[in-house]
Amino acid sequence: MASTMTAIQTVTVGTNSPTSISFTSIPQTYTDLVVKLSARNPNPSTGNTIELRFNSDTSNRSERRLIGNGSTASSTSSASQISLTVVGGNATSSTFGNLEIYIPNYTASVNKSVSIDQVTENNATAATAALGAGLWSSTSAITSITIITTDSTFSQYSTATLYGVFNSATESKPDTPTIGMAGSTSSTSAVVAFVPAGTGGTAASYVATSTPGSLTGVCSTSPITVSGLTSGTSYTFTVAAQNPGGISGQSAASNSVTPGTGNYVSLASYSVTAAGGDSSISFSNIPSGYQRLQLRITNMATATGSNKMTFNGDTGNNYRWWQSIGNGTTTSAANSAGLVGYTQPIHNASTSHPSGTIIDIANYSDGNKIKNSISYNASNINTSNTGDSSIRAGLWNSLAPITSITFAQQSGNIGQYSIYELYGIVG
């Protein structure tokens, strides 16, 4: 049993009185086809027979028909055509006959059998119902369908629509995507990032749904924008993938988002709780839609030295930094190029006191710009003054939009009680 039906083409007859209605260049991506026809012709006969042709073939057709008009029934057959019937000019004015043609497995290398059911109104006193079984004895895939009358024309407003049908047993629905970060971009909208499953059927689109309210947004790639939210209300979002084969399960819920009047949006926060610290911290699936990102970091280290920041998992020689640093006694400046994966934004001169750092990354999602960052670092001041104040500019030589940021210490771990927070700033 078919699970979805999609309109492919519609033909509506104007004043040109055509003798045929055609569908050409039929996509080969469906399982079955359906044609729904509503038609009339000016021929005064009570009913007019027209033909059905596939791929312009005028041969290789046969049919059996069962016809009833409310008083008599008859059955006919033909070894040369597949017949359809529409109302003629004697029928009550503005009345059109309606029929449906079902063509299963139209791309398969088998002979093509079709079923036809139709009704016509002849003259306000009678109607005809007909059921037909047709056969096109050809194993070719159907690429065109022609409905043609050989002794009349189609009247204005006759309409035919071609539908493609997916059989759910053939088309696999996509698997459930993985939720990413969500954040507000205005007082009434939010962006929701996600990662496609990569398994299951190919997703045609993705839908984000809010809780509460069940407001939705649709897109073909991450992130999804959901609009119509209420300022001051907290929302979470789930994401599902869909294609004609069906809809995946819902992802896990996103982080909570409260659209408001501000343009400084909290996206994610991570606190190190393990006594031995964490080897790295990552923010992944960062949504686009903000003018820039800001990180506010309190860093404790299990060993002295610098913290490194990388983007999108790039550990190539694609980073550079410049710094000015004062340790309370002397000042210095330095730079380094062609680094393997770090920009050294955070420095801990002691393991006993935290450093405070603010990192600004402008144009992080702009695919036309190399990525720059600036970090202000206040490094663990203590009674013996083993800290420093510094400004560091970093460069990641890539045009790719930043979708993930990873931090790790050059030596040891990111220590317990470290807190890393990511904000999006709306332009």
Question: What gap in Å lies between CA 421 and CA 419, rounded to an integer?
Answer: 7
Q: Which residue has the tokens 């003018």?
A: 291
Q: Which is nearer to another protein, 102 or 376 (CB)?
A: 376
Site size for another protein (CB under 8 A): 55
Q: Is 325 in the site for another protein (CB under 8 A)?
A: yes
Question: Among candidates 283, 291, 278, 297, which has minimal Cα distance to 345?
Answer: 297
Q: Is 350 in the site for another protein (CB under 8 A)?
A: no
Residue span binding another protein (CB under 8 A) among the ranges 62-70, 101-109, 143-151, 318-326: 318-326
Query: Which of 57, 175, 366, 421 is close enough to bind another protein by CB under 8 A?
Result: 421
Q: Which is nearer to another protein, 50 or 182 (CB)?
A: 182
Q: Is 89 in the site for another protein (CB under 8 A)?
A: no
Q: Is 255 in the site for another protein (CB under 8 A)?
A: yes
Question: What gap in Å lies between CA 156 and CA 118, rounded to an integer?
Answer: 20
Q: Is 185 in the site for another protein (CB under 8 A)?
A: no
Q: Which is nearer to another protein, 27 or 328 (CB)?
A: 328
Q: Is 378 in the site for another protein (CB under 8 A)?
A: yes
Query: Which of 87, 265, 286, 361 is close enough to bind another protein by CB under 8 A?
Result: 265
Question: What gap in Å lies between CA 210 and CA 234, rounded to an integer?
Answer: 10
CA distance to 114, 358, 399, per residue, from 317 (Å): 63, 24, 15
Residue span binding another protein (CB under 8 A) among the ranges 79-87, 161-169, 236-244, 293-301: 293-301
Query: Which of 85, 379, 406, 413 is close enough to bind another protein by CB under 8 A?
Result: 379
Q: Is 304 in the site for another protein (CB under 8 A)?
A: no
Residue length, the chain?
A: 427
Spatial CB neighbours of 26, under 8 Å, sequence gap ≥ 6: 8, 33, 106, 142, 143, 144, 145, 162
Minimum CB separation of residue 411 from another protein in Å reads 21
Are residues 357 and 308 in contact, defined by beta-carbon separation less than 8 angstroms? no
Q: Is 306 in the site for another protein (CB under 8 A)?
A: no
Site residues for another protein, 214-253, by CB under 8 A, read: 231-233
Q: Which is nearer to another protein, 132 or 354 (CB)?
A: 354
Q: Is 387 in the site for another protein (CB under 8 A)?
A: yes
Minimum CB separation of residue 294 from another protein in Å reads 10
Residue span binding another protein (CB under 8 A) among the ranges 26-34, 214-222, 353-361, 402-410: 353-361
Q: Which residues pair with 377 in a beta bridge?
A: 357, 390
Query: Which of 69, 123, 258, 351 is close enough to bind another protein by CB under 8 A?
Result: 258
Count of alpha carbons within 13 angstroms of residue 309, beta-carbon side: 30
Question: What gap in Å lies between CA 62 and CA 59, rounded to an integer?
Answer: 9
Burial 55-69 (b: 16+ CB within 10 A, else e): beeeebbebebebeb
Q: Is 260 in the site for another protein (CB under 8 A)?
A: yes
Residue span binding another protein (CB under 8 A) among the ranges 18-26, 76-84, 193-201, 377-385: 377-385
Q: Is 362 in the site for another protein (CB under 8 A)?
A: no
Minimum CB separation of residue 377 from another protein in Å reads 8
Q: Which is nearer to another protein, 32 or 388 (CB)?
A: 388
Where do contacts with another protein occur on this chain (CB under 8 A)? 187, 231-233, 255, 258-269, 296-298, 300, 324-331, 353-358, 376-385, 387-391, 417, 419, 421-423
